[in-house]
Amino acid sequence: MQTTFPKLLLKHAADRPNAPAMREKEYGIWQAISWQDMAHMVTHMACGLHLAGLKRGEHMIVVGSNRPRLYATMLAAQSLGAIPIPLYQDAAAAECVFPMTNAEVRLCVVEDQEQVDKMLEVRESYSALERIYFDNPRGLRKYDESGLGSVDELLAVGEAFSKQHPHFYKEQVEVGTKEDVAAMFFTSGTTGNPKGVVHTHGTLIDRAQAGAEFDHLTSNEDVLAYLPPAWIGQNIFSYAQWLVAGYVVNCPESAATVMIDLKEIGPTYYFAPPRVFEGMLTSVSIRMEDASAVKRNIYKYFMSLAMKVGPQRMEGESIGLLNSLMYGLGNLLVYGPLRNSLGFSRVRVAYTAGEAIGPDLFTFFRSIGVNLKQLYGSTETAVFVCLQPDNQARADTVGVPCRGVEIKVADNGEILVKSPGLLKGYYKNPEATAEVLTADGWYHTSDAGFLDSHGHLKIIDRVKDVGRIKGGNNDGAMFAPKYVENKLKFFPHIKEVVAYGDQREKVCVMINIDFDAVGNWAERRNLPYAGYTDLAQKPEVYQLIRECVEQVNADLAEDTLLAGSQVSRFLVLHKELDADDGELTRTNKVRRGFIAEKYLPLVDALYGGLTTQFIETVVKFEDGRSGSVSATLNISDAQTFVPVKAAA
């Protein structure tokens, strides 16, 4: 195996120069870029960056969507021994200041006018940013800012330099080794400033290769790159594994066209966090509500069959002749068209990670014939720690350790990992590094879990989040908030949940409704509403959500370990939780502690027995302006159930 990403690029360009490396959709048409073309682009970009002053060991920011020229930029920086740092394209300027200051960045390459404006705003606080290069020139013609230039200009001067110094690029690439730092990824910073996770070429390539071997990935795969490149999950699937396996990465035209592009490409290898799969199921549910009675009945019948026998079928187990025949008919009438509608007609392997997925949601996709599996990992482990084999995908585990990984469980239930993919350290933060990496090479994941009798890892929750009910009938019972939240989020009408209960006598939750799903539900019932806040407080909506909560409570009552986590009270929030308001991370994880402080009056009202509570919240709009949303929220009780074993 080649030792660096640029060396992998040159190998693909030499072995199959005309094979497509990437496709980009522009103006509705897919344009292919061959491995040879990509190598030429990277060569010219590297030479241009060299002339711009980029030095070996220096950090460089890359901000934007998945675009071939931004991928080429990262490869070009690595070719020179520099270290690319992808940042989230939807992050506010203030969020970019710390990473850039921490990494002492002088140069950045961004996608478009929006990102240029952001970097110019950053420069007001961080004056060391000398050069800003943009890929898309639209709207930037009359900008007259120092150090601002286009990627086209960078490529042009780089091409001229390359002709004068034809051996420069390959000489630079040859100097690189697997011990060199390849990239730095900043954590979401849920409890303070984000930390820069340092990874070498060796760690990233080893984990990418381990994942490719596990799922038998080849150069024939098609991948859709639509998630933020700053998230290491996307970076591994569409960058590291792209260069290891040599498959084709497809870049959508825009965020608005992702679902259309997904259907057009029909990827064979697909990756998405649970939120994306939740959105897909919600869209299916909405469409079926609008369908004719005959179609709804056909759908309900065959989905009932699929949920019953589909998972066993995917595991390779016998489901009987009659069930096989009926499933085949269902595949013709329902499952096949549904997979095609979702863009999964060619998917061979689909993964979800980043958050725990609801068991019912997981079962739904496997039931219709999508080989959806879970994996376990993190930014610090270069993603691949545990993977699920094709015939051993279960909703309650995250798979078996993949090649090179050792796992042990600490006395407090925390999962410890030893792997070739572990971070080199946190940048300029030896104290934080020492907290997660032991002297003998074990990484503290902060996740609580255990290995079951089949060698599969089960994750319960974050160690710090697993709590106990204190007082009342469930005194001492385990409370796992993420588990409760995920069970509620399976329902298409619920988008987000924040659960509380540790050291309290009961569990209470705050809920975000899914505006599209509930709006469609309301319109079908001629229920008028004037926006999200109004709809969220409708008595009919509360009854709808109460039914969801009580169904989850009934399920929890059958779980001996978590029966005490049943939800006693709930409210529907007056606004959607938003990363721009600090309530979610940039990877859309709930910041439970921050929300508890921000909405303290609501938490107090839930536990104080109140039936209503007024709240006014400051919100940030997409254009940077601030405003406020206020409402008097209803607070509702939910029925809880006697644990099944206790009842017996």
Q: Which one, of 238, 451, 456, 486, lies nearest residue 355 by Cα?
A: 486
Residue 58's pLDDT is 97
We find that the CATH architecture of domain 5-177+200-268 is 3-Layer(aba) Sandwich (3.40)
DSSP string computed for 141-183: TT---TTEEEHHHHHHHHHHHHHHSTTHHHHHHHH--TTSEEE
Rounded distance between C-alpha atoms, residue 471 and residue 506, angstroms: 8
CA 222 – CA 242 distance, rounded (Å):
10
What is the average pLDDT across 263-290? Answer: 90
Phi/psi class of residue 625: alpha, beta or left (left: φ > 0; alpha: ψ in -120 to 50)?
Answer: beta
**Average of per-residue pLDDT across 427-442:** 95
Rounded to an integer, the average pLDDT of 380-390 is 95
Confidence at residue 648, expressed as pLDDT on a 0 to 100 scale: 39
244, 221 Cβ separation under 8 angstroms = no
Backbone torsions φ then ψ of 483, nearest 5 degrees? -65, -45
**Whole-angstrom Cα distance, residue 79 to residue 71?**
12
Q: What integer pLDDT is reported at residue 188 of this predicted model?
A: 75
User: For 153-172, how does the pLDDT look when each residue is reduced to its tens digit (9 = 90+)?
Assistant: 999 999 999 999 999 999 99
Q: Helix 274-290 to helix 359-367 angle, to the nearest 10 degrees?
A: 70
Report whether pLDDT(647) > 50. no
Q: Which band of pLDDT confidence, cut at 50, 70 and 90, is reported for residue 75?
A: very high
The answer to whether the beta carbons of residues 385 and 402 sit under 8 Å apart is: yes
Residue 534 has pLDDT above 90, yes or no: yes
Determine which of 25-39, 556-570, 598-612 has the lowest per-residue pLDDT on average. 556-570
In sequence order, the β-bridge partners of residue 199 are 183
Given this model, what pLDDT does residue 478 score?
82
The three-state (H, E, C) secondary structure of 216-246, written as one string: CCCCCCEEECCCCCCCHHHHHHHHHHHHHHC
Query: Is residue 338's pLDDT more than 50?
Result: yes
Instruction: Give me the half-sphere count of Cα atoms (radius 13 Å) on the Cβ side of residue 480.
Output: 19
Q: What is the pTM of this model?
A: 0.82
CB 409 within 8 A of CB 416: yes
Question: How many angstroms separate the CA atoms of 76 and 50, rounded?
Answer: 9
Neighbouring-strand partners of residue 511: 497, 572
Q: What is the mean pLDDT of the chain?
A: 92
Kindly give the interhelix angle for 168-175 and 35-51, rounded to the nearest 10 degrees. Answer: 90
pLDDT at position 2 is: 65
DSSP class of 24: E
Kindly report, as residue ranges, where domains of CATH 3.30.300.30 are found in the chain: 467-647
Mean pLDDT within 404-409: 95
The tens digit of pLDDT for each residue in 348-367 reads: 999 998 777 777 788 999 99
The predicted-structure confidence for 33-56, as pLDDT tens digits, reads as follows 999 999 999 999 999 999 999 999
Residue 350 pairs with which residues in a beta bridge?
Answer: 270, 372
3-state secondary structure 259-309: HHHHHHHCCCEEECCHHHHHHHHHHHHHHHHHCCHHHHHHHHHHHHHHHHH
According to CATH, the topology of domain 467-647 is GMP Synthetase; Chain A, domain 3 (3.30.300)
Measured at the CA of 83, the angle between CA 176 and CA 8, to 5 degrees, comes to 45
pLDDT band at 275 (very low <50, low <70, confident <90, very high): confident
Q: What are phi and psi of 458, to 5 degrees?
A: -115, 130
8-state DSSP, 348:
S
Per-residue model confidence (pLDDT) at position 274: 86
At 412, is the pLDDT very low, low, confident or very high (cuts 50, 70, 90)? confident
- The amino acid that residue 441 corresponds to is G
**Average of per-residue pLDDT across 463-483:** 85
Model pLDDT for residues 616-641, shown as the tens digit of each residue: 998 887 666 788 899 999 999 999 99
Pairing of strands 59-63, 83-87: parallel
Delimit the CATH 3.40.50.12780 region(s) of the chain: 5-177+200-268
Q: What is the pLDDT of residues 175-222, one digit of tens each?
A: 999 999 999 999 876 557 899 999 999 999 999 999 999 999 999 999
User: Which residues are bridge partners to 32 per DSSP?
Assistant: 23
